[in-house]
Structure 1
Amino acid sequence: MSRPDILLVYDKECPACHAYCQVVRIRESVGELRIVDAREDSEVMREITGAGMDIDQGMVLKMGEQLYYGADAIHALALIGSRSGVFNRFNYWMFRSRRVSTVLYPLLRFFRNLLLKLLGKTRINNLNQPGRDRF
């Protein structure tokens, strides 16, 4: 029996998001983690947009047919994550609690948006909201 693909969709132009997604690991028994750039057209991005999820405000983890968004995504990643390496142990320790994830994720998102504004990056704006071109 093959392990399912688990998709992690994020903004590859965000240095903080990119660094996180390059080091986060999941347990082999859970499946294989595939990274998807939210700036590229893909089936999963169409699904995310159809679900009304603003990718500029949160990463998405897709496991099977379930989409986890923002704080729920980082919480789920912590629970299915590998405990090997300092980063992955820290990630588990920090985000294993749904409550802590819910409190910390908006703070992380604020600093991400500030970083992207300082870097002059444009929003993905997958929901095509007028006037939302820049951070």
Structure 2
Amino acid sequence: MDEWGRRRREAAEDRAALLERRRRAEHARAGEMLRTFVAAAGRAALAPERLRVQSYDGRTTARTGLSGWYLRGDRTVAVGTDGRFYVLTARLTPLDRLRGTTVPPADPPLVIGAGGKDGDSLALAAALTRLLPGWDD
């Protein structure tokens, strides 16, 4: 490989490493916000609710073993009482709708729906403040 090609490859690797560090830092900050919110919700006696997963088309839902608070009005994302972030849309089978399903936690974003359609993004802090004003004081 010539010198120019090697430098380009190294620059690309450096850029990828930088982006990965930024992504991890964002998830760490968002995770800390969620944990702080859950602690504040407990102190304020903000009652959690049982979380449900909805199908991708939004027509059907399934139970989960999770409790928490929905972060968006469309109930597609939530913070669990465990302080973790959950995406609550999935491909649901008839058996899922009957028995319920499990939802793995996801990496929390600082902006929910970033990169989506205009008006679909929501700052995590704003979503949490809507649920419990003053949670971050």
* TM-score (norm: length of structure 1): 0.26
More strand by share: 2
Q: Which has the larger radius of gyration?
A: 2
* TM-score (norm: length of structure 2): 0.26
